[in-house]
Structure 1
């Protein structure tokens, strides 16, 4: 079955170029010229397997689109943008983006990044490996967290931070190390994104249990209790 990539960009030349290239690579391709159209396509069932999302669009920009869909769309989101400011990189990643690619980009490098993100998604297996932490359960194979029969809606990076910490319970991880392990050693951005994701993760886990499993070790980092 072909994997589906959603391209969201208001520059038609870029959309056409990417669409033609990705079709030749064997993907199914959806396109949207603005944020509102992107929301409708992202909510299709089954949804896209990966989203290429432009930041600078009139009306609803890419950051707003990501903020709107991240909690209900689990696929990788790759920002495409000409904005080079570090604050923009941090914002995009803290909103749940998985990669940040600057325009103009090399099409071969973009293809390699798309392939790498989709490979990670395919590593999921159909066999459950569920463990319990108090009232909460974690299914590492399905990459799901929940309580009883209800699933907790975690964004991709929130889950990956939880997975890293919970698989190494008691071990302290610095923000920098979490950033390297979750975002990648060559990721462009700022470990401050870790703080934002931990804050959001704790807020969601509080729906299950009052006392958070994610403990702050002041001046050092975080660990799973």
Structure 2
């Protein structure tokens, strides 16, 4: 049983999805506009289904506002079918993109697949807070601030770990060099985004020494970097 948030202004779609998900035992929260959706996201759902074209603030803006407070998968729903729209949604932190009109069976299957992947990747401590994240051969221990690949400890500096932690907590989301610098070094730090490039280069080299066959951090040209979702 998982808590799922649906943010969509189309009543018929909301009711259809709500009934279908509840019949599978999930707890379903709903919001009919973007502003309410941002508020409901604070309830920390385990998955969000987010429409793009809504009155007020659209789904892109909702995603931008909530991505720093929620770690769960976000599935975009949209009548927009262009590659540009898909890339924009995924770059903002979306995990999937489903075009309207959609197959209900396919959407439900995608929901379950994302939920399964999240449960495989996350280990919680007794207070319900994230402690371990697993991505393929890589494991990060947020409590001890250690990263291992094939159970081999990767020797990371504090800043390198901070970058990895940021990317791994938002797998698949693209961060610009400027965003990474601000989040890791702080808004008032003296320096520039070139520092991020050098740190990413060092992280990749350390990862490659242990696992040369896997690309963990991808460069999204013209935008920034993202951690690849690994099974």
TM-score by length of 2: 0.65
1:119 to 2:116 alignment: yes
Q: 1:156 to 1:135 in 2, by over 3 A?
A: closer
Aligned Cα root-mean-square deviation (Å) = 3.2
Deviation at 1:137, TM superposition (A): 6.9
Alignment of 1:96-175 (within 5 A): 96-123=93-120, 124-126=122-124, 128=132, 129=141, 130-131=146-147, 133-136=156-159, 138=161, 145=162, 156-157=169-170, 160=171
Unpaired stretches in structure 2, ≥5 consecutive residues = 125-130, 133-140, 148-154, 205-217, 220-224
- The separation in 2 between residues aligned to 1:58 and 1:91, in whole angstroms, is 19
Q: 1:155 to 1:70 in 2, by over 3 A?
A: farther
Partners of 1:35 and 1:62 within 8 A in 2: yes
Partners of 2:163 and 2:184 within 8 A in 1: no
Unpaired stretches in structure 1, ≥5 consecutive residues = 139-144, 161-181, 183-192
Q: 1:108 to 1:92 in 2, by over 3 A?
A: same
1:22 to 2:21 alignment: yes
1:9 to 2:17 alignment: no
Report the 3-state secondary structure (helix = DSSP H, G, I; strand = E; otherwise coil) of the residue aligned with 1:17: helix
- The separation in 1 between residues aligned to 2:166 and 2:178, in whole angstroms, is 11
Deviation at 1:136, TM superposition (A): 3.8
How many positions carry a matched residue from both structures? 173
TM-score by length of 1: 0.66
- The separation in 2 between residues aligned to 1:155 and 1:42, in whole angstroms, is 20
- The separation in 2 between residues aligned to 1:66 and 1:92, in whole angstroms, is 8
Alignment of 1:29-44 (within 5 A): 29-44=28-43
Q: 1:99 to 1:206 in 2, by over 3 A?
A: same
Higher mean displacement: 196-205 or 100-109: 196-205
Partners of 1:49 and 1:118 within 8 A in 2: yes
Q: 1:154 to 1:69 in 2, by over 3 A?
A: farther
Aligned equivalent of 1:197: 175
Q: 1:90 to 1:155 in 2, by over 3 A?
A: farther
Alignment of 1:71-110 (within 5 A): 71-110=68-107
Aligned equivalent of 1:186: none
Report the 3-state secondary structure (helix = DSSP H, G, I; strand = E; otherwise coil) of the residue aligned with 1:26: coil
Partners of 1:3 and 1:28 within 8 A in 2: yes
Partners of 1:71 and 1:154 within 8 A in 2: no
